Amino acid sequence: MAQKGFNAYKMAQEQFEKVAELLELDETTRDLLMTPMREYHFSIPVKMDDGSIKIFKGFRIQHNDARGPCKGGIRFHPQETADTVRALSMWMTWKCAVVDIPLGGGKGGVICDPHDLSEREQENLCRGWVRQIARDIGPIRDVPAPDVMTNSQHMLWMMDEYQAIFGAQYPGVITGKPVDLGGSLGRTEATGYGLVYILREALKENNIDITKSTASIEGFGNVARYAAELFIEYGGKVISVSCWDQKDSCAYSYYRPEGIDIKELVKITDRFGTIDKKKAEGFGYKCCPGKDWLKHEADILIPAALENSIAKENVNDIHLWC
Amino acid sequence: MAQKGFNAYKMAQEQFEKVAELLELDETTRDLLMTPMREYHFSIPVKMDDGSIKIFKGFRIQHNDARGPCKGGIRFHPQETADTVRALSMWMTWKCAVVDIPLGGGKGGVICDPHDLSEREQENLCRGWVRQIARDIGPIRDVPAPDVMTNSQHMLWMMDEYQAIFGAQYPGVITGKPVDLGGSLGRTEATGYGLVYILREALKENNIDITKSTASIEGFGNVARYAAELFIEYGGKVISVSCWDQKDSCAYSYYRPEGIDIKELVKITDRFGTIDKKKAEGFGYKCCPGKDWLKHEADILIPAALENSIAKENVNDIHLWC
Amino acid sequence: MAQKGFNAYKMAQEQFEKVAELLELDETTRDLLMTPMREYHFSIPVKMDDGSIKIFKGFRIQHNDARGPCKGGIRFHPQETADTVRALSMWMTWKCAVVDIPLGGGKGGVICDPHDLSEREQENLCRGWVRQIARDIGPIRDVPAPDVMTNSQHMLWMMDEYQAIFGAQYPGVITGKPVDLGGSLGRTEATGYGLVYILREALKENNIDITKSTASIEGFGNVARYAAELFIEYGGKVISVSCWDQKDSCAYSYYRPEGIDIKELVKITDRFGTIDKKKAEGFGYKCCPGKDWLKHEADILIPAALENSIAKENVNDIHLWC
Amino acid sequence: MAQKGFNAYKMAQEQFEKVAELLELDETTRDLLMTPMREYHFSIPVKMDDGSIKIFKGFRIQHNDARGPCKGGIRFHPQETADTVRALSMWMTWKCAVVDIPLGGGKGGVICDPHDLSEREQENLCRGWVRQIARDIGPIRDVPAPDVMTNSQHMLWMMDEYQAIFGAQYPGVITGKPVDLGGSLGRTEATGYGLVYILREALKENNIDITKSTASIEGFGNVARYAAELFIEYGGKVISVSCWDQKDSCAYSYYRPEGIDIKELVKITDRFGTIDKKKAEGFGYKCCPGKDWLKHEADILIPAALENSIAKENVNDIHLWC
Amino acid sequence: MAQKGFNAYKMAQEQFEKVAELLELDETTRDLLMTPMREYHFSIPVKMDDGSIKIFKGFRIQHNDARGPCKGGIRFHPQETADTVRALSMWMTWKCAVVDIPLGGGKGGVICDPHDLSEREQENLCRGWVRQIARDIGPIRDVPAPDVMTNSQHMLWMMDEYQAIFGAQYPGVITGKPVDLGGSLGRTEATGYGLVYILREALKENNIDITKSTASIEGFGNVARYAAELFIEYGGKVISVSCWDQKDSCAYSYYRPEGIDIKELVKITDRFGTIDKKKAEGFGYKCCPGKDWLKHEADILIPAALENSIAKENVNDIHLWC
Amino acid sequence: MAQKGFNAYKMAQEQFEKVAELLELDETTRDLLMTPMREYHFSIPVKMDDGSIKIFKGFRIQHNDARGPCKGGIRFHPQETADTVRALSMWMTWKCAVVDIPLGGGKGGVICDPHDLSEREQENLCRGWVRQIARDIGPIRDVPAPDVMTNSQHMLWMMDEYQAIFGAQYPGVITGKPVDLGGSLGRTEATGYGLVYILREALKENNIDITKSTASIEGFGNVARYAAELFIEYGGKVISVSCWDQKDSCAYSYYRPEGIDIKELVKITDRFGTIDKKKAEGFGYKCCPGKDWLKHEADILIPAALENSIAKENVNDIHLWC
């Protein structure tokens, strides 16, 4: 969110226009798909721990449901905007369509920083979100999921509130629940693994032997870790990962040409995702500036942190296939 | 809508802030009332007479329903914006509260110019609006009404669509229906008459004899005409009304110091509300520039056309109690 | 509740049997009316201020709805039992029938002491009660009201929760709301005034001049105060009221043969209903043991505290019409 | 429909009576199954392209749902009658029961000729049909399907209207949708193929070698074409098909003893199903009177056009196993 | 029902056509009003006292609801037909429209003779009727009432079944309930009184003094009795009433030129409505053939038995204004 | 039910407390699981064959649905009590949890002896039970099943009533329907077979050869018979079964050391489950007192009659592994 001057919705609409041109879509279809079909913006009053009530602004944007119930996450972020949610809901429509899943595209959000909220306040916020939108979501309407700064616990509160409102069991109202309460297996690994499945096929097409290839990865979160894990399992070598360093307020790229060891790194990573610099150096990693991740000599670059990380400004820094 | 640089929502929020300060409202209440409680933005696909489908953007904004179901009109206007509708819904909350009616504030709209739409297209648009919002309005939720460029026929189509969707009779879903199909008596005269009721009381408080007072009125639409009618009935004299002249693309003020005759003027007014200049002059009215309405010597000025017509720029033009 | 060995339900059933005998009701009708038609017992998980969750037990008993939707209060009491609620719901059926109101009889309760609960915990409890029973109450099913240790604020939370669940305005779901949010006028005075209206008629029938009569009242709560107020307004003289004394853990009867002054007493009564003994004596009231209320010489005895206050054991203490 | 004096309902009831006798069904069961359980007859106002409104009469007949939701098509036909629809709904009950599908029998229709209606008028009619019956059909009540003169486009409009009414995704409300919007694969071929599957088994039971057998087919529509296709694929030889000739207003049977070639014939068939006589003769087909289809020497006769095509009157014309 | 060759529906349609011609109704309106908007025909399985199940055929016809929820009775009659119910529903539309009540026209029926059914069987039939139609009637859809051979007890069973199905109190689902369970006062007298109110006005317009006028009445049922009662109360003289004689299987007209005495006659009338011939003669009534009712010398003829009692065949028998 | 002084609920709660201690459950969880989440107690008016109406008391107890919709049988028993049903619902929660089925625990009952009720009365009772609870059960809420003295016919009536109330097909509302109307295969054998599956595994763990083992079984009902059948099929030998003897009002154990023959015994068992003593003796069975079933020399004891059949009082009678 909120890169200065960047508007995700505008970008998504421009992307759509380009493709619409290529597909020679008619005017009506363009008009229909250029903006969301239905948007819900609402206030959520939340009782805070100090007894006060705070008003949060929430959204649910249903971009299109021609192909099935809408699907898409709920984001908690202090810089959340309607436009970001609009863009993401649009992309959900495309993603589901491209892989031919009978679902449409939706996305939701709340302007808030969950780090500033106690667990109880988060629960109240989750329940409050559902209370404002309950009649317009559901298994045959629109199915939310976890997303930026929301997790399976948030989903459980939301499902519980939905079930209390309708007085029955609706496990299908939301995905990303805890596995033992109806959640899907493999959800955590899905993005990282999916990334590597595609990488594997791309390498095949280009006749590159994965067991002889090296990768430099940006990030060390859920996506990066599982991508690294599977890439290594397939025989590849990961020569660097990167992460944000809370203390130094900057990103570092940890580089070890003979290959990183995920388990080793995970052990020295705190719960905010920051790798312990000293210990990493002790394990033989070289700690470089974060932006160096694409300067390392590698066959493959995997940007698995934030969007738009490879751009005009830094494309010449790339040091591939050398 | 759409005076350059003017944002009704911003204005409404500033008004609210001033009053909140005076009322010493707490932070939570301010946050709650500063923005709408619930907003619905949606696309309405409409089959046009030429067989094509056109996508219109519609809104329903429910500012607050703490005091009862939301209440407020539906506007059709080519420059309609979410912000205008937000402002108007906020004002509806205040208006209902001030006169202690157990209703909250809502407002809706569609970006369209009904002049460009055939009757059938208008019907399709009205029905389409209801189809997108049906589950979130209704007699015990939110009750729309006619407003800018919508009329009792539009309301009837909307009610009919609502009834078709829920398979039962719901006359209470909408107000402003044709009188013989459950509409309220006196709706047309209500605003103009109401204005004069208040004027009458104001004159009483200021010990001004209405039968000896004169008024200059801006406008000659529904509000202006009925205000003039009742004011004259109460014994006052209206010395001018004004209207937009389609042909000359400007407003004129028709001035006759011995008093206007409404029936006379209505007869020479076309269906767009333009008074026939020549005929008016024939009846002894002097045709002045529109902005002169507040320069005429009169005890009372009645701005019954667009909002913000008396402002810093023209306040010195006023020629009262001279 | 909970006088040792006393079971209100058993009493109500015995009362019913006596009357059923007199009315020569058939077996089926007796069976039907001897027990409640429908009972709901449920657990209410409540998030406490310390973060823990406490499980409360709640009830709603619908004794009979043949004459209309059930009607009856919700009681919060630490010794609440299903049997008490059963009895009270049965009495509600009779009461509504006797005065020919088209309503049936219901009653609800929660085992809890609201004194031990913070406002937030009370709110959570009220909302939780509604969440367990929402689909089985409502304006055309069963309409709760305030009762022992519940008040208009509790009703408002309950109505709000009901409205959140069904997504619409249902002021008719509950009575006893705050007056400015749809509550009924005169609710507070109703029982005390009603009592005196009947008393007035009874005196008429017995040719007793109310302006020459004296009354001794047990209690100084809502019922007693308003009964005293109206009785005095009608010209009668109240020679004593009584109340529980928190500090001395006993009841006192405050006696002043020339008549009490309610406003005077109210001023020296704390929020738990205890009259300040010293000050009362200063005003010339004699402070006697609570049970003496029926020993005072008075034409009329008004037991307006707890049920069963006149019984075989103390009937000979009565000192009337002397 | 509408063979003079022929009443399908009467026929179905007579068929039922015969079987009921054989099954020794009791009186109640006969009464229950002799007539439909539920019938809906309704008016459908349709806005025509010329701006007028035309009233169409529609039906939905649910013969029996003891075995599951009703199932059956919707027919558009100018001579549609309640009795035809009754008969067809009864047959649907039997068909589903015979093959032990947990569905009951239903059928619907509209008195109209879709050839006289523009696409928009057809859409309005389809949506209008659903608006009159929506609450009484649905995935767990009664599931329509295409039938005489209705197709997947009609089903899509109907599903869309149903979904708009209930505000959610209900792909299960109707079958026969376009395949890429949830329709079933193989629907077009199903009847013709099914016919030949049964034929194949019948031949096996009678020890007839399909590869040495010949068939004469009446019709060249959906059923006949796919029956011919699969029969030929199984090694059989089709020596004739027949069709209605629009121009000559009579039926012709196209005969070629060495076997027909479907693709060849399809190419010279217009969109009304009429084979081009001249071209067919050019391809070596002999063009005989339509009724001759059962006079051709063939091992198998496949009546795949209208019902009752083999009757007392023409049974002696059959020229089989010669 | 079921006069040979007589079809009420055809008659109603012919009546409509005549009036439509006079009103110059457009084609669409005629098409719409010429047939019912919605018809429900259904089977009602009823458990009989002997343990068997019998299938009854029931109807509900909703002719038109443009002016409000449909309204109309439910008839139990062995010769009930869909066409009779259609006609009656059409007449209900007209009747409600003519007196400008915001209700549409409906009618229902069951083919059955309640005389052949025990009370329990009738209860089962009433409940069964509701179970087949519950979702399509109701206070805001279509409100039944008693009619031929149905009474307030039947209505009560129907309301109770409706309430059991929807789990709430719906006294507005049906009219004609017993008065002490929500029925309307004055329902029994309504038709007879209404008749005389109109007669009174008609006499005024024709300057006929009611106190000097005489009437001959056909019938002695609910309509006739209350018409006679009010007519006499207004000062008129009734010189004859008529009734069917069960024993003699014919109708008699009881004639007494000095005026009948209703209470006297009611006392000698059995529960099937037959006046005791001998006793009547004892009271001075002359017993004539039933058809003589219009031969008696009277100023006013009141046909208050079956429809079409004055026709071409007997119009010359009338002996009025002599 | 109703062993003197025995309270199943108390027992279940004690069992729970023991396990809660072992699992170190926190206070809240204990409070939540110690009592049912929701209880419904209600009156069921049933029309009896003699025309009278009898009031039955019914229950549905939903102990917990955190893991999915509640599941559990409906019992008809003259000594049914709320406490028994509470206990059984609690055990259902545990059973579903232990085998990890996503269902919660429920149980229902009616105080009645179906032996005293005609089939019609039983049908009325079943339908009446559903009418009181319909909105609180269902496929996604709580799914009943047959239990003590209820069977598939009862379930069918219940499902039919539920379907009539909601006007659609809900086969999932209840299990244990007749197999050809959606019931599950294998339901009758399930408990007996399941018992032996576990026994088989237990024997394996203890290295006991099932083909060389003998069993003494208490009971000869559904559980005992199918347990015996499968045990024998697995090669074991059953040396005794027992049953209640209606005539002698005592239980007998039928002992035959060379093994029983189930088919043989079933043939001489009446419909109340009583084995014909004389005939059994004729077949070589020794008829012992019922309690002797655990005195017979056997490797395995299978108590398949009532609960608590092995207790402190008789544990020393056991004669195993000798």
E65 inside 8 A of chain B by CB: yes
Active-site amino acid positions of D: 107
- What is the C-alpha separation between A291 and A225, in angstroms, rounded? 18
Query: Which pLDDT score, from 0 to 100, does residue E321 have?
Result: 54
- B19: which 2 tokens? 């009053």
A145: closest CA of chain D, how far (Å): 19
Q: Do B39 and A39 touch (CB under 8 A)?
A: yes
CA nearest neighbour of F67 among A182, C214, D227, C106: A182
The answer to whether C38 and F43 are in contact (CB under 8 A) is: yes
Q: CA-CA distances (angstroms) from residue D252 to B25, D218, D295?
A: 88, 10, 13
Q: End-to-end CA distance of chain B, in Å?
A: 34
Query: Which pLDDT score, from 0 to 100, does residue F3 have?
Result: 56
Query: Which pLDDT score, from 0 to 100, does residue D322 have?
Result: 45
- Nearest residue on chain D to A69, alpha-carbon basis: D169
Let me know if A107 is a catalytic residue: yes
Look-up of token digits 């609450």: D135
Percent of chain A with pLDDT over 90: 86
Q: Which residues of B touch C162 (CB under 8 A)?
A: none
Rounded to an integer, the average pLDDT of E173-189 is 92
Q: Do E140 and B182 touch (CB under 8 A)?
A: no
Q: Using CB atoms within 10 A of its CB, is residue F272 exposed (0-12), middle (13-18) or buried (19+)?
A: exposed
Intrachain domains D8-181 and D190-317 with the same fold:
yes
Please determine, for residue C322, whether its predicted confidence score (pLDDT) is greater than 60: no
Query: Which pLDDT score, from 0 to 100, does residue D1 have?
Result: 40
F45 inside 8 A of chain A by CB: no
Please, which residues have CB within 8 angstroms of residue D250's CB and are 6 or more apart in sequence?
D244, D289, D290
Query: Which pLDDT score, from 0 to 100, does residue B4 have?
Result: 63
Instruction: Give the active site residue among E54, E95, E107, E277.
Output: E107
Please determine, for residue D6, whether its predicted confidence score (pLDDT) is greater than 90: no
C262: closest CA of chain A, how far (Å): 37
- Nearest residue on chain D to F160, alpha-carbon basis: D66
Q: End-to-end CA distance of chain F, in Å?
A: 34
Question: H/E element holding E244?
Answer: strand E237-245
B116: closest CA of chain E, how far (Å): 27
- What is the C-alpha separation between C218 and C221, in angstroms, rounded? 9
- Nearest residue on chain D to E32, alpha-carbon basis: D55
Domain ranges of chain B: 33-185, 188-317
Q: Using CB atoms within 10 A of its CB, is residue C207 exposed (0-12), middle (13-18) or buried (19+)?
A: exposed
Question: H/E element holding E90?
Answer: helix E82-98
- What is the C-alpha separation between F312 and F295, in angstroms, rounded? 15
The answer to whether F199 and F300 are in contact (CB under 8 A) is: yes
Q: Which residues of D touch F168 (CB under 8 A)?
A: 69, 138, 140-141
Q: Do C65 and E182 touch (CB under 8 A)?
A: no
Phi, psi of B42 (to 5 degrees): -155, 160
F103: closest CA of chain E, how far (Å): 26
Rounded to an integer, the average pLDDT of F195-211 is 96
Query: Which pLDDT score, from 0 to 100, does residue D71 have?
Result: 98
Q: Which residues of D touch F182 (CB under 8 A)?
A: 102
Q: What angle do CA B307, B309, B310 make, to 5 degrees?
A: 125
Q: Do A135 and C167 touch (CB under 8 A)?
A: yes
pLDDT tens digit sequence for B230-284: 999 999 999 999 998 888 889 999 999 999 999 999 999 988 789 999 999 999 9
Read out DSSP for C272-302? TS-B-HHHHHHTT-EEEEGGGGGTS-BSEEE
Q: Do D138 and F168 touch (CB under 8 A)?
A: yes
Facing A42 at nearest CB: one of B28, B38, B42: B38
Alpha helices in A167-218 (DSSP H): 187-205
pLDDT tens digit sequence for C184-242: 999 889 999 999 999 999 999 999 999 999 999 999 998 999 999 999 999 999 999 99
Report chain F's mean pLDDT, rounded to a whole number.
94
The answer to whether B143 and B174 are in contact (CB under 8 A) is: yes
Instruction: Name the F residues in 89-118 with CB < 8 Å from any A CB.
Output: 102
pLDDT tens digit sequence for A134-176: 999 999 999 999 998 999 999 999 999 999 999 999 999 999 9
pLDDT tens digit sequence for C267-301: 999 887 899 999 999 999 999 999 999 999 899 99
- What is the C-alpha separation between A94 and A92, in angstroms, rounded? 5
Please determine, for residue A55, whether its predicted confidence score (pLDDT) is greater than 60: yes
Q: Do E65 and B182 touch (CB under 8 A)?
A: no
Please determine, for residue D125, whether its predicted confidence score (pLDDT) is greater than 70: yes
Report chain A's mean pLDDT, rounded to a whole number.
94
Check: CATH 3.40.50.10330 for D190-317?
Answer: no
The answer to whether D57 and D82 are in contact (CB under 8 A) is: no
Rounded to an integer, the average pLDDT of B12-29 is 97
A53: closest CA of chain B, how far (Å): 6
- What is the C-alpha separation between F9 and A34, in angstroms, rounded? 62
Instruction: Name the D residues in 113-142 with CB < 8 Å from any B CB.
Output: 120, 131, 134-135
Query: Which pLDDT score, from 0 to 100, does residue C2 have?
Result: 45
Fold of C36-185: Rossmann fold (3.40.50)
- F230: which 2 tokens? 């499968």
Query: Which pLDDT score, from 0 to 100, does residue B2 have?
Result: 45
pLDDT tens digit sequence for B189-209: 999 999 999 999 999 999 999
The answer to whether F123 and F156 are in contact (CB under 8 A) is: no
Q: End-to-end CA distance of chain A, in Å?
A: 34
Instruction: Name the D residues in 155-184 with CB < 8 Å from any B CB.
Output: 164-165, 167
Q: Which residues of A touch F68 (CB under 8 A)?
A: 169, 171
The answer to whether F126 and F134 are in contact (CB under 8 A) is: no
- For residue E56, give the 3-state DSSP assignment: strand
- Nearest residue on chain F to E48, alpha-carbon basis: F120
Facing F28 at nearest CB: one of C38, C52, C132: C52
Give the distance from CA C272 to its chain's centroid: 16
CA nearest neighbour of E40 among D40, D134, D86, F168: D40
Q: Which residues of B touch D129 (CB under 8 A)?
A: none
Please determine, for residue B181, whether its predicted confidence score (pLDDT) is greater than 50: yes
Report chain D's mean pLDDT, rounded to a whole number.
94
Please determine, for residue F1, whether its predicted confidence score (pLDDT) is greater than 80: no
Percent of chain B with pLDDT over 70: 98
Contacts of B among chains (3+ CB pairs under 8 A): A, C, D, E
Among 3.40.50.10860, 3.30.70.100, 3.40.50.1000, 1.10.460.10, name the CATH number for the domain at A8-27+34-185. 3.40.50.10860
Which homologous superfamily does the CATH classification assign to the domain defined by F188-317?
NAD(P)-binding Rossmann-like Domain (3.40.50.720)
C114: closest CA of chain A, how far (Å): 18
Please determine, for residue E1, whether its predicted confidence score (pLDDT) is greater than 50: no
Which homologous superfamily does the CATH classification assign to the domain defined by E8-13+35-184?
Leucine Dehydrogenase, chain A, domain 1 (3.40.50.10860)
Give the distance from CA F3 to its chain's centroid: 16
- What is the C-alpha separation between A302 and A192, in angstroms, rounded? 10
- For residue C175, give the 3-state DSSP assignment: coil
Fold of F8-185: Rossmann fold (3.40.50)
Facing A120 at nearest CB: one of C51, C131, C164: C51
Q: Which residues of A touch C134 (CB under 8 A)?
A: 167
Query: Which pLDDT score, from 0 to 100, does residue E3 have?
Result: 56
The CATH number of the structural domain formed by D8-181 is 3.40.50.10860
Among 3.40.309.10, 3.30.465.10, 3.20.20.70, 3.40.50.720, name the CATH number for the domain at C189-317. 3.40.50.720
- What is the C-alpha separation between C283 and B316, in angstroms, rounded? 69
Q: Do chains E and D touch (3 or more CB pairs under 8 A)?
A: yes
Rounded to an integer, the average pLDDT of E308-315 is 88
B169: closest CA of chain E, how far (Å): 5
The answer to whether B98 and B53 are in contact (CB under 8 A) is: no
Fold of B33-185: Rossmann fold (3.40.50)
Give the distance from CA E162 to its chain's centroid: 24
pLDDT tens digit sequence for E88-119: 999 999 999 999 999 999 999 999 999 899 99
Query: Which pLDDT score, from 0 to 100, does residue A1 have?
Result: 40
Query: Which pLDDT score, from 0 to 100, does residue A5 have?
Result: 73
Starting at the edge strand found earlier in the chain, the sheet holding D286-289 runs D286-289, D250-255, D237-245, D214-218, D300-303
Q: How many CB pairs under 8 A join D and E?
A: 59
Please determine, for residue F293, whether its predicted confidence score (pLDDT) is greater than 60: yes
Q: Do F168 and D140 touch (CB under 8 A)?
A: yes
Percent of chain C with pLDDT over 90: 86
Query: Which pLDDT score, from 0 to 100, does residue C1 have?
Result: 39
